[in-house]
Structure formats: structure tokens, C-alpha cells
Amino acid sequence: MYRAIFNTLGNFSHMEGLRTGRGCTIPVPRTVLLDANALLMPFQFRINLEAELRRLLGDVDIVVPTPVLEELRLLATHDRDAKAGERLAARYRSVEGHGSADDALLELGQALHAVVLTNDQPLLDRLEASAPARVINTSSNAHERAKLNGEDLEGKQRHAGFRAYGQSKLALQLLTYEFARRVEPTKVTINAYHPGFVASRFGWNNGPV
């Protein structure tokens, strides 16, 4: 099953916009900062990261801090996925950051009011230390009809597309509850939300699942 993939650090709000002289609003792309673990997800979990971000957040400006690029370069010397992640990072805008990758992500996340995409436990530990803060997991109400089979979590014995989707969202709900329980004494809040139906191309390329 997938781990909690879309973790956001800081504020999660509706897309902002610039107001013109005629009173019209021009949408401003949501800034998304990627850490090294996020750039490995497409190769470790077979996820189209950019498509998922655009599906969930609309128009996004994907950014990679320079300390994250340096971290990937070091990993790429002995890790094939990191080498692929380094090539992927070259597609996105880079911004100057200071200190470690985690330092840069936290600093830039606050300065740019950005979403930080991470699967990095040490960074989440830093989030707890910098509370108050919050994590929001994008889920779905498809979990309500799902059941988990501990003997066949990957669906190798019996697979159906929507059933697997619902099971993955149920696993995310359980992870959210457990994460919330673990950080309950702190000022970090953990929530999962159902975005509802949106006008996007999500699922158009799935075929008859």
C-alpha cells in the first residue's frame, strides 16, 4: 500500500490570485516545494507526481531548493532512483536555499507560503519542533466502502481498480488517525480531507479498470 504521500507543511488555502485594475482576478500558481524523498516517489511508487499535484492543487509552480539538489547529487552516486530523481528535478525551477535540505524547506515554506511535499520522517520531526503547524493528507470518501485484507495488501490475489483505490485511501485514513495520536501532546494537527468531484482529467487515462 502507498505511504502517506501528500503531506503539506504550513498553511493549506485556496489558490490565491492577483487582482487587476479592472477588478478581474488572475490565478497565481500554488508554489510546491519538493524534497529529495518526494522526487524519489515516481520511481519508488510509480506515481506521476506532477500530474497528481496538478490534479489536487490546480496550477502549480514546482520548486526544488538548491540544498535538495545537492542531497540528490550525493545520493545519485550510489542509488539508481536518486539518479533518476536528479534528472526529474532538472525539469523544475530551483531556488537558492541555506543550510541543510530540511532547513531550506522549512525556511522557504514559510517565506513563500508554499506546500512542502515530503515523505521524510526527520523533516516531520522538525515540523513537530516548530509547532504550531499542521499536516493535511488528501484522501477520498472511497475509503468508506473499503476493507483491508492483511494477507493480500497489494491485491495480488484479487485485484480491482476501484477496490484498490478505496483500500489505499482507507490505509491513508488509518495512518492519519495514528499520526494524530502520536503527535496529540504537541501543537501539530493532522487531518485528512475528501476533495469531492473536481473538473480535472483524473482517471481519464486509466482505461477499463
| Rounded percentage of the chain residues whose pLDDT exceeds 90 | 22
Model pTM? Answer: 0.57
Binned at pLDDT 50, 70 and 90, residue 205 comes out as low
Number of domains within the chain: 2
**pLDDT single digits (tens) 118-128:** 776 776 777 77
Together in a domain, 152 and 182 = yes
* Domain annotation covers residue 202: no
Together in a domain, 99 and 41 = yes
Together in a domain, 152 and 103 = no
Please tell me the predicted confidence (pLDDT) of residue 163.
77
Please tell me the predicted confidence (pLDDT) of residue 14.
32
**In the listed set 82, 99, 123, which residue is the last one of a domain according to the structure?**
123
Whether 13 shows a pLDDT value over 50: the answer reads no
* Average predicted confidence (pLDDT) for the chain: 77
- Phi/psi for 74 (5° steps) reads -65, -45
DSSP secondary structure string for all residues of 114-125: -EEE---HHHHH
Binned at pLDDT 50, 70 and 90, residue 86 comes out as very high
How many CB atoms sit inside 10 A of residue 157's CB?
A: 8
Binned at pLDDT 50, 70 and 90, residue 77 comes out as very high
Distance in angstroms (rounded) separating the CA atoms of residues 43 and 76: 13
Assign 34 to helix, strand or coil. strand
* Domain annotation covers residue 203: no
CA 99 vs CA 67, 78, 103, 126, 209: distances in Å: 7, 23, 6, 14, 46
- Range scoring the smallest mean pLDDT among 72-76, 119-123, 183-187: 119-123
* Domain annotation covers residue 11: yes
Together in a domain, 76 and 142 = no
Whether 202 shows a pLDDT value over 50: the answer reads yes
Nearest to 164 by CA among 140, 185, 146: 146
Together in a domain, 8 and 79 = yes
Together in a domain, 46 and 96 = yes
**pLDDT single digits (tens) 19-66:** 334 444 434 468 999 999 899 988 888 888 888 888 777 788 999 999
Whether 207 shows a pLDDT value over 90: the answer reads no
Identify the domain containing residue 171 by its residue range: 131-195
**pLDDT single digits (tens) 91-114:** 999 999 999 998 898 889 888 888
